[in-house]
A and B are shown apart, each in its own frame.
Chain A
Amino acid sequence: MNINKLVTLNTLLISVVAIIAVAGYLNIFVTIFFTAAIGINIGNLKYIELYFPRFLINLSGIVVIAATVLNFEISQMNTTLINTLVMLISLKLLEQKKYRDFMQITLMAVFILAASSLLNLSMIFVIYILSEVFLIILQLILLNVMANNSTGRINKRYFYKLLKPSLIILFCSIPAAVLLFLILPRTDYPMLDFLNNQQTAETGFSDSVRLGSIKTIQDNDKTAFIAEMKKIDSNYLYWRGAVFDTFQNNQWNSRHREKDESQMSSSNSYKNNTNYTIYLNPTNRKIMYTLNIPEKINYKKQFNHYKNRKEYISEKTIKSKTSYEGLSRLNKSFQTEPPDKDIYLQLPEIGKEIKIISEKLRGNTLSEAAENILHYLTSNEFEYTQKNLPVSEAPLKEFLTNLKKGNCEYFASAMGILLRLNGIPARLVGGYRGGYYDNSGYYTVLQSNAHVWVEAYIGKSWHTFDPTPADFEAYTDKSRLKFMKRYKLFFDKMSYYWNIFVINYDFSKQLKGLNKAKKIFGDWNLNISFLQKTIIFVFISIAFFTYIYTFRKKKKTVNQKFIDYFDKTLAEWSVTRSPGEGLLASAEKIKNKQISEKMQTIAKTYYNKAYGPTNISKQEIRLLLKELHNIRKKFNNT
């Protein structure tokens, strides 16, 4: 391959790796422009020759920078700058590149990658940086080769020879990096995170339950948190967040949190206790999530515990990845002091229709009434949906009497109101339902797992009721996830290990991980089915034969390679050889006698090897190529 092409290819790789690292932050137009630039470059490698004039590129660069300055906002500084850099790199890719251009592109790629670390620091960054470092080392070596001989060709062997030092430098740098890793403080907190706060604003969980304003809820695939624990019965997978006590203007809010005692409860030992560690992604809220029903949590920072509401509220807004340990009792009820009836029986103005329904559901006892309400809502009469939600002035009436379709917020609200109409103190609990268990020992809870359920005070305890008839298997079974979500879970896993190994550096956990990996690998080996074996076998054989085929083809073309190079050399002395012309005859046409003689000798040697009775070896061809190369060099010097 031509050295120039090789450098171009490597430059493309370098830019692509850097851009993938920041892909999530790119403007759609920037992405399209960059893709187009890459496309044109790939075309230039082989099929077309499309370069833009330098003045046009420079002008566009100035326009881009001007646009950046005009759109500059301190809160989005990082993203803006990354987009600008990607634009500049794309523009640079479009021109006919020389040594310095390749260097500039490489440098910009390094900037982009560095910028990406400011936005988001996760395990995958290691992969980006390793591949980028390797490519850049290779790039520097290739550029040096190119500087010495800009038209030279690089054969496979020579390329491998260049590859070797690149790999050696890379692997030598790893021990140094490990040393730095041990010395430098580790953080999961992107150092300039305040620059991109807006990314944490989206969430599936909300501070209030509001009915009748949104028609459709979009699935939010972001990870809310990871809970490291053993696998439990999925019926108990309720992650408690906030308690909503007041329903007003079609909206449930937490108004009376402060009236509750805020204190640490003493640790009681119950049966069914479950320990867990939560790795919470930044939420920009104060609410902390716990497994229902929480007994206590262990958190390094300040927080409040509302005993009767079982709420845990952080003192400060959670703006970075946080982790805390928790202890919960897997149960559907818990005892508290009797609740304030003014709060938990509060009702807004209710229409007649709803009152009629609540009359119908009245039972002999309070618990019977609650059961009736639950049965009524979970009966076939009602349908769970996230689309075409009831939108009206009185959405609850619309839901109960007319549409009979809704999401968990409607079901929970309806039950809360019906309970209160029947004189049962009730409240809504917002949090998450379900989670996807990974066999390495943790649940991944996505924003799409956000859920609202009901608690009713009957007897001396609060009882958990979930009137939503949704199919919760879908929220716990990984195999029912879409591909993209599964892909997401994979990166969550990487993130999880990053947290364990890097952020919460713990050697015993590392060893545990190693053992687990070993175990997984061992199990994996045993679990290959016959079909899988066949597929692997077929795949390997195809790869093998393809290799042999290409290898043989290569061997055939060694002579062709020589002839091509011979023609090229002839061309430098303005002799063109038509395909049917002999090498010797063409060499005789060279006017410079000395060169002509040398070329004739080379042609004769080649003929001897190629047409003589003995078989030609690659080594001999290589020697001839070297001789040709020397002749060309001599010509270039004089």
Chain B
Amino acid sequence: MDKHLIKLKELYKYFNKYLHGKEKALKLSLLTLFSRGHLLVEDVPGLGKTTLALAIAKSMGLSFGRIQCTNDLLPTDITGLSIFNKKDNSFEFLKGPIFNNIVLVDEINRATPKTQSALLESMGEKQVTIEGVTYKLPQPFFVIATQNPAEQHGTFPLPESQLDRFLMKINLGYPEKKHELEILKGGSSRGSISRSQPVLSKQELLDLISFIKNDIFVDDKIYNFILDFANATRQNENFLIGLSTRAMLSIITAGKASAFMSGRDYVIPEDILDYMKYTVTHRVVLKNNIHENEKAEIVKSLLESVPLHA
């Protein structure tokens, strides 16, 4: 535990140096990474998502790939394709951008459903199958996808069932004035990030992730609370679809990661409750007559009504 916590401290030191005003986004990203999940960011462009993803990749010595989605993007543009090699007289597989540890998928809702599903499938399976050959994706594998809420024209919104594959859906918002001023004065830190040295090796990160998975204690009370909550969403009259079992698993994993990041080896209710709005809201489907804007409120009030297990 202590060993891993020291690593975490070093990571924070690194981020403090290169990233400003992104504490919340950074925390949620790390949490998702540590939980072996994926992150969906719904925000306008130009708020530093790329810098964040790059910093995370660089700090841990991970490879970084980026996919800019358009409506003519093909699945093979993501996964890669086999090209005939005249020299060897055989097909050679060229890996696509998905074969990176950290993949930034920009404006995922601009891609066609076919491409989206290819991406999302690889996210879920952590492997890609092309022409009968299965290629394992590198470990760790972390996708940060973005959606632009402002431009709806010519987009293909992700189906709710696909959204379930993202551990969290977050909304960054604009940085604070103070931090924005710093960014304006200092310019983009992307250059210095590219030149920086990692503070954590890939193996150390994998160790850390497996530690979180296996060695953080979750009391029965927490499990029971999550079950109660899931049941509440399934029985609530406002919801068409409640929480899935996979959703519950994700919530617990996120809780474990949160416990670790707070320096605890056990999960407390706050580990679960604080992230519910990121983990739950995009997984439940409202009935038709209720407006999407009310979703967060409904989830919140439901959450407050389910009592904790003492």
Contact = CB atoms under 8 A, between A and B. Distances in A.
Interface of A: 557, 559-560, 562-563, 578-585, 607-608, 610-613
B305 A612 contact: no
Nearest to A561: B310
B273 A611 contact: no
A582 B310 contact: no
Nearest to B221: A611
A582 B304 contact: no
B187 interface: no
A610 B221 contact: yes
B306 A580 contact: yes
9 contacts: A560-B310, A578-B304, A580-B303, A580-B308, A607-B268, A610-B310, A611-B221, A612-B219, A613-B217
Nearest to B216: A613
Interface in B25-79: none
A584 B222 CA distance: 15
A536 to B, nearest CB: 39
A611 B265 CA distance: 10
B267 interface: yes
B305 A579 contact: yes
Interface in B257-306: 265-270, 273-274, 303-306
B221 A580 contact: no
Contacts of B307: 579-580
Given A578-B305, A584-B268, 9 more contacts: A557-B310, A560-B310, A579-B307, A580-B273, A580-B308, A582-B268, A607-B269, A607-B270, A611-B222
B229 to A, nearest CB: 8
A585 B217 CA distance: 21
A100 B260 CA distance: 57
A613 B308 contact: no
A557 B310 CA distance: 8
Q: What are the 8 tightest A-B residue pairs by CB atom distance, in nearest-first order?
A: A579-B307, A578-B304, A559-B310, A582-B270, A607-B268, A613-B217, A582-B269, A560-B310
Given A580-B273, A582-B273, A585-B274, A611 B268 contact: yes
B305 A583 contact: no
Interface string B210-223: 00000001010110
A500 B266 CA distance: 73
Given A559-B310, A582-B308, A610 B270 contact: no
Contacts of A579: 304-308
Given A611-B266, A612-B217, A581 B310 contact: no
Nearest to B302: A580
Interface in B231-265: 265
Contact of B304 (A580, A583, A607, A612): A580
A611 B269 contact: yes
A607 B273 CA distance: 14
B269 A583 contact: yes
Given A562-B310, A580-B308, A611 B219 contact: yes
Q: How big is the B interface, by class? A: 20 to 34
A610 B308 CA distance: 12
Contacts of B273: 580-582, 585
Contacts of B265: 612-613
Nearest to B232: A580
B interface majority secondary structure: mixed
A190 B222 CA distance: 70
A563 B269 CA distance: 13
Contacts of B221: 610-611
A612 B221 CA distance: 11
A323 B308 CA distance: 74
B232 to A, nearest CB: 9
A547 B229 CA distance: 33
Nearest to B307: A579
Nearest to B268: A607
Contacts of A585: 270, 273-274
Contacts of A557: 310
Contacts of A581: 273, 304, 308
Nearest to B309: A559
Contacts of B229: 580
B220 to A, nearest CB: 10
B266 A613 contact: yes
Nearest to A564: B310
A608 B268 CA distance: 8
Contact of A611 (B267, B303, B305): B267
B269 to A, nearest CB: 4
A480 to B, nearest CB: 59
Contact of B305 (A580, A607, A608): A580
B154 to A, nearest CB: 41
A201 B307 CA distance: 69
A437 B269 CA distance: 73
A610 B304 contact: no
Contacts of B222: 611
Contacts of B304: 578-581
B20 to A, nearest CB: 25
A579 B304 CA distance: 6
B38 to A, nearest CB: 26
Contacts of A582: 268-270, 273-274, 308
A136 B222 CA distance: 48
Contacts of B308: 563, 579-582
A559 B270 CA distance: 17
A585 B262 CA distance: 14
Nearest to A563: B310
B266 A584 contact: no
Nearest to A607: B268
Contacts of B270: 582, 584-585, 607
Nearest to B310: A559
Nearest to A585: B270
B303 A610 contact: no
Given A582-B273, A585-B274, A612 B306 contact: no
A578 to B, nearest CB: 4
Nearest to B276: A580
Contacts of A613: 217, 265-266
A612 to B, nearest CB: 4
A278 B310 CA distance: 69
A585 B269 CA distance: 10
> Which of A559, A607, A610, A611 has the most chain B CB within a 10 Å cutoff?
A611
Nearest to B225: A580
Contacts of B274: 582, 585
A580 B306 CA distance: 5
Interface in B169-202: none
B270 to A, nearest CB: 4
Nearest to A581: B304
A610 B219 contact: yes
A518 B307 CA distance: 59
Interface string B142-164: 00000000000000000000000
A73 B308 CA distance: 67
A608 B266 contact: yes
A610 B222 CA distance: 10
A419 B168 CA distance: 116
Contacts of B266: 607-608, 611-613
Contacts of B303: 580
Nearest to B259: A611
> Which of A557, A580, A581, A612 has the most chain B CB within a 10 Å cutoff?
A580
Nearest to B303: A580
B104 to A, nearest CB: 32
A474 to B, nearest CB: 64
Contacts of B219: 610-612
B293 to A, nearest CB: 22
A608 B269 CA distance: 11
A492 to B, nearest CB: 56
A616 to B, nearest CB: 10
A584 to B, nearest CB: 5
> Which of A562, A585, A612 has the most chain B CB within a 10 Å cutoff?
A612
A577 to B, nearest CB: 9
Nearest to A608: B266
A553 to B, nearest CB: 13
